[in-house]
Structure 1
Amino acid sequence: MKLHQLRRQSNFSSLSSAVTNTCKPPQPPPSPPPPLTQNQLQTSILNSQWHFVEHLAHTLTPAVISTTFFNLRSKPTVVSKFLDQINPTHLDADSNSLALVIVSLLPSPKSAVQLAKRIINSRLVTSSDFFTKLGKSREKLNVEISICYDYWIRGLCQLKKAEEAFKCFKMMKDLGVLPKVETCNDMLSLFLRFNYTQMAWVLYAEMFKLKISSNTHTFNIMINVLCKEGKLKKAMEFVECMEIAGFKPNVATYNTLINGYCSRGKIENARKILCEMKVRGIYPDSYTYGTIINGLCKEGRVDESVRFFDKMVDSGLVPTAVNFNALIDGYCNKGDLEKAFGYRDEMVKKGVAPTLPTYNMLIHCLLMEGKDDTAYQLIKEMEEKGIKKDDVTYNILINAYCQSGNVKKAFELLDEMLVEEIQPTRVTYSSLIYVLSKSKRMKEATDLFEKVTRKGLTPDLVMFNTLINGHCVNGKMEKALLVLSEMDRRKVNPDVVTYNTLMQGLCRVGKVEEARKLVDEMKGRGISPDHVSFNTLISGYSKRGDMKDAFKVRDEMLDIGFNPTLLTYNALIRGLCKNKEGALAQELLKEMVGRGITPNDSTYFYLVDSIGDVENFLENSRPQQVKIQFCKNQVKGLGPYS
């Protein structure tokens, strides 16, 4: 058939169809289902006809739902099931309030707390306004039990809304209703986690005033608060108060104390508490041993921590990934990759799966040791096991590229982070600001700093110090000092590193007097100068040959109680040699050796450069043979010392 015939047939067919359709009477639209009456709804709910209820749930109004809740108020289990069938958006603040009061009557708090969290996240109403509505709902339902308030506060705590939880606690107090001790413990735990120690003590005092009896968990939390504040002696006294109150310390109590002492580097005290535990018949668990193992590793006492690890295993406790990770971290910090990987292999052998922190520690150590290929093999192994990179992994990789000056690769990893929806941290941006500064791209570094702060990331001390260091290294001292002013504006307190960086920058451009003034400013802020501060000034004065002021700073350093270091002597020797005072420089060398400080290549280079009879000096001073050869090579013109 030809194409035009097909078209004609098609048109005719369409026309016929249209004519046929016009001959048929119009069909009425399908009628909507009849509205569900109150009685039908309640009957369906009581008969567990949930499919029917779910099908018509979209037609329900908040008013109908509220009436249903009221009529079913004596059946909290049924109300809870009904809530599961309806869309939360169909409820308003009043119907939600009725629901929470009724569901709070269930024996288990789980459903009520989950409902409270759902209501909080919906942001229908503020916490305090909803708290008021709960009171009205209790009156309407004639419910005397006040547990719904507790569940509301516990929901706020689980969502980490500390201030709102405390505000609702005060409202509860004003109503003359006492919260349960469990509710108070939830708040205390949250305050502890957020380091709101002052708020924790205020709440604890209120509990005492309201005669809310503490339990063992309460005492353990407050002991933890004291440990966090560094008040370890008072924490021990609190254990005695706990016993006087009739509560026996448990393994969690002692673990808290042990952790407190270990976090302050007081390992021996922690070990004494471990012995006391055993005397009292309280058996330590893997957390107890793990805390001490971790503490020893952080102190660099890894071999001792291994012996402690072995004791734990001998006592019948099964080591966890956390215990193995502590040892791996300890050996990584020592640069002993062989032993670090040895414990990784042992944990696998014992059926303990390496965790993301395990891989992060090993990857970091490998990159620091320059073993990039092995590090990337480990990343591949990690990903093959289904363990995804986190912000720590990315920060390790970005930092490695930043240290090597690879700006392009560092920013590629930043882009990858964002694609993976992993939020960059202050550590990420500090590394990137550092590499841009190192590459003399200070405008980009400053722009990045400003961009991330505009996006809402509050810069911390490290970020500020990194930016200051970038300006100092690039000789932009005015801008560096402006950053210090910005720190004050943002209420970020500078530290000794901040000031040392600024002093080094000023001395580098010859402004030693301005650097000297910063020492007084430091003291005014309550920041004590350290070795670096004094050595920076000594080096600054020595560099320009101002030895009187250099020795004056050295004397000030001694008066405060700091002993001179290798850097101190090298700076002074360099200055004396620059002023052609070789004899004094040699006297300083003798003093230095007498103090047990071994001279290095720089020391001898400065001295050799200033002494005429080089061979005689080298023969008489008898430094290490390697250094003698180094000095001779320099004198023979084998290249300038750098």
Structure 2
Amino acid sequence: MAVNAGGRVVARRGGGLLGRRPASALSTATTPATPQHISHYLAHQPRATWEALSAAFPAGEMSHGHVDAVLLSLARHPHASPEPVARNALAFFHWSTAAAASSSSPPPPPSSHSLRSYCLLVHLLSRAALFRDASVLLESAISKHQSSLFSASCFLDAFFAAYEDSGTAATTRGLHLLVHAYARLRLPGEALEACRYLARRGVLPSLSAFNAALHAAQRAGSFDVAWDVFELMTQKRMYANQSTIELVIGVLSREGKLAKTVALVERIHGKKCAPGIVAHVALTLRMIEENRVEQVILLLKRMLQRNILLDDIAYSLIVHAYCHIGDAKSALEQCDDMVCRGRRLNAFVYTCLIRAHCCEGSMDKAARCLQEMLSMGTKPYDETYNHLIAGCFRQGMIKEGLAYFDNMHEEGFVLDIGSCNKMLEGLCSSGEVRKANNLLTAMMDKGLLPDKDTYLSLINGYGKVGDAQCIVNIYHEMEHRRLDPGVEVFTALIKGLCRCGNLKEAEKLFAAMKKKTLASTSDLYDMLISGYCEKRNAKRALWLYDKMMTENEKLVPSPETFMMLVRRVIKVKNTYSPDS
């Protein structure tokens, strides 16, 4: 109970208003408190304590709507001293929760605030530069209100709506804090979504907000998210500082791509470059791999204007972008432009052109490009030879491809796995499976790790020459290297063994395939049934047919296999008929 003593309100034990208050607030303890009364009180009271609030306002009437309306009223009006008002609003926010929980009036009010209340109060605190309080409140709101049923986009909509409803008194500080809050909660995907959301609505997140999102993504190992953050900030012309570059270099290092990117930049420019150049080159290369050429060229031109990249590096990357999508004509035009601007074509540019010609199947143009490269005193490197070798074997130019391989071997380079597979496939298709196997052994001694496609080429090759034992050996080697064969490789193994006539081993591998819980196919049964029919073993062929039909109703033999089986069974019956 409070007593008026000489213009002062003295709180007695049991609750009351401490300190001075305006005369207009004296009647609020006896009359219903409207949001306007409460907001006026909070805006003009130097310090609103819990005791003062309990004495001034009836706790039982504090509903969600009441609290929302009070905070909205405070948020919409600028104040001469925003910090006391924001602190009073925060005290009222916490007091209203406790007061509502202790009220016994039916029905019992909810014990937690609405999302809108959280959002409005965060903007109020941010406007008063009370960032620590705002951050704590924002993280609490995200934890309470963001779930599988309440997505990040819904939270963002509510938070931005509270910002807009604040009107002319609004500040973007709270919006930047939202990105920081997601980052501190280790939600890099949501932090990226918040950055995109704000950018779409004309509010560019601050550099520190972008860096926070980038750091959260790097720490969580979400490298794709990290690159998306870096790309977004670069596209929005929020250029990187030293902290940004260090974070991006950290992502590159953890991805295992740092050394390769540094070597590529040095190959283009002729000497080592600053980490900032390496970071932006890595971003550009990632976008080129995704075939976003128009965006890449626009971004590179902006980087040139800001002196983020050197001229020769930017022009070389534009050539690479055109070559990557197979536009050799535009790439050559860009090369002519480089020469006109006094820039010398480097090994990377020549290699890009060679790749484009090889992909088109124009091996004569690729060879001329190589000769021009050598005449300019520019040395080819491993990727140059990889493109030439893969291109030759794709076109069936075995002799020329092997010649390039010998040159590469003499220079001390090692084939990459993609070019190696193309070479093995070409050799095996031409019947040179022994040579292919020897070359693979030599490359494995230099550190090349074969994959499923590597072994698939050898399996098909040995199947053509009828070497069943080598097919079985390849399967065991794959098992030793713990390479999961998969249905495709098992199909090639069984097909090769059936072609060699070794049906016993083929059935063993068929059984091994089933042990690995790989689904049988009609093709596999067809090969085995046809093989036994050709060996005149109708009994085994019928057994496999029955097993096929009972295993899965979707497994149906091909018409050719079925007719072959029928003819074999009829012939057997005619042979052992009593009337014959």
- TM-score, normalised with respect to structure 2: 0.42
Q: Normalised by the size of structure 1, how large is the TM-score? A: 0.39
